[in-house]
Amino acid sequence: MTSTLETPSLTRITARPTKVGLVAGGLGAYWPQFPELLPQLRRSAARVSERMRALGDVEVVDVGFVSDAQEGAAGAERLRVAGCDLIVGFLTTYMTASMLVPVAQRSGAPVLLINLQPTERMDHATFDTGAWLAYCGACPLPEMANAFRRAGVGFRSVSGHLEDERAWARIARWVRAAGVRGALRHGRHGLMGHLYPGMLDVSTDLTSVSAQLGGHVEVLELDDLRVRVARVTDREVAERMDLAREVFEIDPSVVEEDFAWGARVSVGLDRLVDEFALDSLAYYHRGLEGEQHERLGAGMILGASLLTARGIPVAGEYELRNSLAMLVMDRLGAGGSFTELQALDFTAGVVEMGHDGPAHLAISARRPLLRGLGVYHGKRGWGVSVEFDVRHGPVTLFGVGQERDGRYVMVAAEGTVVDGPLLRIGNTTSRVDFGCDPGEWTDAWSASGVDHHWALGTGHRTAELRAVAELVGCEFREVRP
């Protein structure tokens, strides 16, 4: 299947790059004693810098090689000013903790210590002291760890060798997690409309978002969308309908007037997102008797799904923490579609889950369907809705819950989307096998503290999500009954 993201007219946003601060170091007392050591270590540092840049959308702030505490302090100041998402300290050989503690203290960013010796092992028969010292990056790691703990600085470490792909996979995981942390801390998250009446789990203290995850919550009115929709031209509506025909299979149930309205709202929604510089959006509005705000709320699904596919996740039912969970999954490359429990199939041993409303088109198992609905269950209005199941294979559920004391918790579970019968009611629906009784899994998931909405993404991602939770300071709970 061709991904909907490959549609020429549906262009994914350019996400903020991950800024990684890199400092390599070793004990300067060695340089006059072993003249060939420093050039070798510098080559290793250059290789690490090169591989860091090759990890993806990463901007590396490389402050070079430090040999004593004074140089370490100078590097710390440069990294503080740079505003990095992650600080990587490369232990090339023995170095004192005084050389890196200032870097960790001043940057305000999470710290990753890496110990990558030149090759898998030393040549013991030929190595002298100078050659051995190039392999001695493990020596200062306990010292750094002890000093960082005593200084109250969190850290994590990866040990291996320069071309150790297992080590680089772990490093890449921390870099991706730091990128997600950066997306949350620098993000602008729209919240439009009002809480779905009675959904107590969904209710979120807006200050808690900025306090615990960073970023800004922009409170919007439906009128902010209304005035932009009113400015949309008929030509723009026709162009958006053409785009939708490229992306979706259009079911015969779609009423042309409702299709055109969804397209008009979609263009206005794009303008709203652009003009408020939003990275995510959560919305809900009830409305009454077909008035303009009810029609706006009912016309959101097409535009919200197109935005989500482009990397600006949109969640319905005013579920702010779910739009943040969708953002996390999207930035990890997993997609992340708005999801809740639908039913349990005890015969097949699967949990059926999905949602009406916005969906992440990039992870559909097939060309997504646009279906016309005369009624949205539990909501006011009518119009077009998106229908598909997530690509079959490994998937991860991810949600952000909130405890009694206000703390956020990040909750995840891994499963497999399998084939089987699906509802045809304008919803996303997936059949997920968790390798156990679906009732037992449902009880364990519900007891985890997660909301009744979450993001469903492709691939098994708990290792990455655990790293994200650590870097943002949230408790992580994996559900594996």
Which pLDDT tens digit goes with each residue over 466-480?
Answer: 999 999 999 999 999
Percent of the chain at pLDDT exceeding 90: 84
Percent of the chain at pLDDT exceeding 70: 96
pLDDT in tens, 417-441: 999 998 887 778 899 999 999 999 9
Q: Which of the pair, 287 or 127, is modelled with greater confidence?
A: 127
pTM higher than 0.85 for the full model?
A: yes
Amino acid at 286: R
**Structure confidence at residue 88 (pLDDT):** 98
Give yes or no for residue 380 having a pLDDT over 90: no
Q: CB neighbours (10 Å) of residue 207? A: 10
Nearest one of 100, 84, 111, 105 to 25, comparing CA atoms: 100
pLDDT band at residue 372 under the 50/70/90 scheme: confident
Residue 369 backbone dihedrals phi, psi, to 5 degrees:
-105, 135
**Structure confidence at residue 4 (pLDDT):** 40
**Structure confidence at residue 279 (pLDDT):** 98
**Structure confidence at residue 6 (pLDDT):** 46
Distances (CA, A) of 270 to 238, 257, 291: 15, 20, 22
Q: Which of the pair, 292 or 356, is modelled with greater confidence?
A: 292
**Structure confidence at residue 382 (pLDDT):** 61
What is the end-to-end Cα distance of the chain in Å, rounded? 34
State the architecture of 18-184 in CATH terms: 3-Layer(aba) Sandwich (3.40)
**Structure confidence at residue 383 (pLDDT):** 74
pLDDT in tens, 103-129: 999 988 999 999 999 999 999 999 999
Give yes or no for residue 320 having a pLDDT over 80: yes
**Structure confidence at residue 219 (pLDDT):** 97
**Structure confidence at residue 3 (pLDDT):** 41
Give yes or no for residue 374 having a pLDDT over 90: no
Q: What angle do CA 364, 196, 328 make, to 5 degrees?
A: 40
**Structure confidence at residue 428 (pLDDT):** 85
Q: Which of the pair, 30 or 108, is modelled with greater confidence?
A: 30
Residue 177 in contact with residue 169, Cβ under 8 Å?
no
What CA–CA distance (Å, rounded) separates 340 from 452?
6
Chain centroid to CA 67: how far? 37
For the segment(s) 187-478, the CATH number from 3.30.300, 3.20.14, 3.30.420, 3.40.50 is 3.20.14
Q: What's the average model confidence in pLDDT over 82-102?
A: 96
Q: Where are the domains of the chain?
A: 18-184, 187-478
pLDDT in tens, 144-170: 999 999 999 999 999 999 999 999 999
pLDDT in tens, 262-282: 999 999 999 999 999 999 999
